[in-house]
Chains A and B, each alone.
Chain A
Amino acid sequence: MDLPTPIPSHQSATFQERGVCVPFTTPALAGARVRRDARHGLALLVPNPSGGRGIYVLPWSGVRDMCHPTLHDCMLHDAIAASKAALVSPGVVRAAARRVAGDGAAGRAAHAAAVKAIQIESESRQATNRYLLYALAAQTTIQASAAEVAALADVVDEIGIGPYAARAGIPIRLAQVEGLRAALAAWSNMGADEPGYVSLVCGMADLAIRCGRHVIGAARDRVADVEGLLIDWRARAEDVAAVFSRPAWVLDGWSLPCLLWGAASGVVAQRAALIEIGQMLAVLPKEAGHWIGASIEAEANQAIRPMVGLNQDWRAGLNALDLVARNEQFRALAA
């Protein structure tokens, strides 16, 4: 099969510049990212639909000129835009996505999944809160208010500590990327074609896994010294929060690829999934190198871009309806 040729891709300087992956259900917005924009409030970063280099940076009105977003996507955009957070982070997008799915905009299955995810997250935060309270009582004589610990627990929870560690979002997402990496390698070893293509995606997964493990480890090290963590939290809460948010930034954008591969059955579907995965992955920004103390530029300089074939209708038609339905099912699987 003739697959699109990988082309050199732009490497952002920072994660903020790269934007946050948004779980849109409109097929044309697969892999789209969002970031704050001084002029429009919110800017969408959409992979060049023609298959050429670069990305389109558009306001939402520009997106509506390019395709017909679903109601879910319109609501999701509005929910992110309405967020009071100064910067758009993976946490802001996730909360907005759950709220919109919880309203039923992606169907009943996604609604039920969102409600369940919110409940699990709440339970996990309470468990992390209790864990921090016990740790503080055991390790230090510093007095901390319940509100103070609760705020810290909200920041720490996602990386997974204490008894609820395995149920936290970040360890689960890292395990999913590791699973995808292993599955792709096994698929390639089985004699499936285009090993170079597989190795490109695997290379990006390897980098995300390496960076992910590093930043998760660094964040968990901070929790090991809970007294120091509390002191830092009181002095520089934003800096502490930034350290704990790094794993979510590094693993951002891998949820849909994992779902796509998991749903692909048979070589033909797996090939198609591989192409789609390659098209939506964005290279890690240079900032990730600073976080792990290594240069990642050489490893992150390629990406796969969609190619629109002869006689292929890329923007509308029967296939788009099926893809929206599929993407809504994914919303139910990854609330």
Chain B
Amino acid sequence: MTQTAQTAIRPVADVQRKLRRAADEQVAQVLALVDAMPVRGAADALIAPLRGRLAAIEPIRPLSVTRLLFRPLDPVITTGPRWRPGAPAVPRTALPTIGDAVIAQLGPFARSIQASIAGRDGKEHAIVNQAGASLWPPAAALLAQMPIPADWGLATGLPNACYPEIRTNIAAVLHQAIPLSQRTRDAGGADPTPAISAILHATQADYPAGLGIVLAVLLADGVTAAPVLLAALAMPGIPVDLAVEHTLDRAQHMLTAVLPLVGLAAASFQAAHIAALLDAIEGPDARPTLRSHAQRIRQVADEACRSRLLQALDQEFLPKLATAGVALDDAAVTGLESVARGLRRLALAGRRFGAAAMYDKLLGRTAAGACASINSTLTRMERLRLAELLVGSDAALKLPAV
């Protein structure tokens, strides 16, 4: 590498290093700046290492036709180097090329979709689902017949032989994108099994080769993993093991590479989903091979949650509590309470992986310390509230300093 090239790369590497240590809110701000650039160019390199983290913190991002098109595939998009043929996943490097080709073929229709989502963001679920419902079915139909783009190899770095599989996988998910989006947005608490079975049956009929990836999308929502597995195991010909193995691999990546970096809210959310996923995989109908894989991931998750909790105590809660020696304003107290709530949330998720007693002990000691901090300018009630947030009201009232 020439000296000029090294000089050019160093600032990018420096910023990447700083971003790695930044809070979720700061990452979201940087991302907003990058998203606002008319030409992103090298800025894409800045956020490339953050992809896994972005999946966990789900920042608000402007909606574009490409982003809308691939939205249903979010849980199964993987980096180019991690993607392997046969995996129920889609390499990120293939998306711009396929997206451009689909949008070009859709022509004026794609432009009308773009106009309808201009100024909207990905958190506006009603807009996403409404515009997506117009886009996904015709895109799936078009993609199923689409020849390989001329610049495929150059643009994606993938062999031509990979294209049919990737195309089929994307088309299969887009084909079921509407029921998939309705399922994930359904907050009614009704039994999701019929909807899941309908999705799997429709995929089996129209895109049998895409069953694995559709199942992987369904499993990604760990909370409903149990009925998903139940429905999948009841149907012959579904590559359940493949989809589960892939989902567990993603969970492991989340636990080891992402959990130490994201905020407590995102960490506990991901941990809770993974706990529900593991509970489902280790359920009464579990296959021995999957169960043993799930048990390995459970150990990884236990370690990751404990480590993240200790990190949050050392770097967030205790330093903030120490500042209570001087009068804290309302925002500082709210921030302290928010961290305490985050610690409890993570402990509640983490204890599902095993070491419940450890979490009780750790948070119990922290709560006792918070309650007994005589130098604190916090009122007795505020210290009591901190203890309550950490260990619950019953345990807080039994603390000696109360």
Contacts and interface: CB of A to CB of B under 8 A. Distances in A.
Given A1-B186, A1-B187, A1-B188, A107 B337 contact: yes
Contact of B187 (A68, A271, A317): A271
A317 B348 contact: yes
Given A266-B124, A266-B125, A266-B126, A311 B227 contact: yes
Interface stretch (B140-148, B245-253, B297-305, B391-399): B391-399
B341 interface: yes
B341 A321 contact: yes
Given A2-B188, A107-B337, A309-B191, A267 B126 contact: yes
Interface stretch (A69-77, A134-142, A205-213): A69-77
Interface in B38-96: none
Given A71-B384, A266-B125, A268-B125, A321 B345 contact: yes
Interface in A257-314: 266-268, 271-272, 275, 307-312
A106 to B, nearest CB: 9
Given A317-B348, A321-B344, A309 B126 contact: no
Given A309-B190, A311-B226, A107 B396 contact: no
A71 B126 contact: no
B190 A108 contact: no
B388 A311 contact: no
Contact of B349 (A108, A307, A318): A318
Nearest to B394: A68
A4 to B, nearest CB: 8
Query: What's the dominant secondary structure at chain A's contact region?
Result: loop
Interface in B208-267: 223-224, 226-227
Contacts of A267: 126
A191 to B, nearest CB: 12
Contact of B397 (A71, A105, A312): A71
B385 to A, nearest CB: 7
B333 interface: yes
B341 A325 contact: yes
Nearest to A103: B381
A13 interface: no
B88 to A, nearest CB: 23
A242 interface: no
A183 interface: no
Nearest to B341: A321
A107 B345 contact: no
Interface string A102-119: 011101110010000000
Nearest to B384: A71
Nearest to B349: A318
A3 interface: yes
Which of A2, A103, A311, A325 has the most chain B CB atoms inside 10 A of its CB? Answer: A311
B382 interface: yes
Q: Which of B189, B190, B269, B385 has the most CB of A within 10 A?
A: B189
Nearest to B393: A71
A307 B223 CA distance: 18
B151 interface: no
A69, A71, A307, A321 — which one has the most chain B CB atoms within 10 A of its CB?
A: A71
Nearest to A69: B393
A13 to B, nearest CB: 33
Interface in A51-86: 68-71, 74
Contacts of B124: 266
Contact of A108 (B191, B334, B396): B334
B379 interface: yes
A108 B333 CA distance: 8
A71 B190 CA distance: 33
A318 B272 contact: yes
Pick from A103, A104, A266 the residue with the most CB of B within 10 Å: A104
A272 B187 contact: yes
A69 B388 CA distance: 11
B393 A311 contact: no
Contacts of B176: none
B393 A104 contact: no
B263 to A, nearest CB: 15
A70 B397 CA distance: 11
Interface string A323-334: 001000000000
A312 B189 contact: yes
B32 to A, nearest CB: 20
Nearest to A272: B187
B393 A68 contact: yes
Closest 6 A-B residue pairs measured CB to CB?
A309-B189, A2-B190, A104-B381, A1-B188, A71-B393, A108-B330
Interface of B: 124-126, 185-193, 223-224, 226-227, 268-269, 272, 330, 333-334, 337, 341, 344-345, 348-349, 379, 381-382, 384-385, 388, 392-394, 396-397
21 contacts: A71-B388, A105-B385, A107-B333, A107-B334, A107-B385, A108-B333, A108-B334, A108-B382, A266-B124, A266-B125, A266-B126, A268-B126, A309-B189, A309-B190, A309-B191, A311-B224, A312-B189, A316-B348, A318-B268, A318-B345, A321-B344
Given A107-B337, A268-B126, A316-B348, 16 more contacts: A1-B188, A2-B190, A71-B388, A71-B396, A109-B334, A271-B188, A307-B189, A309-B189, A309-B191, A310-B191, A310-B193, A310-B227, A311-B226, A318-B272, A321-B348, A325-B341
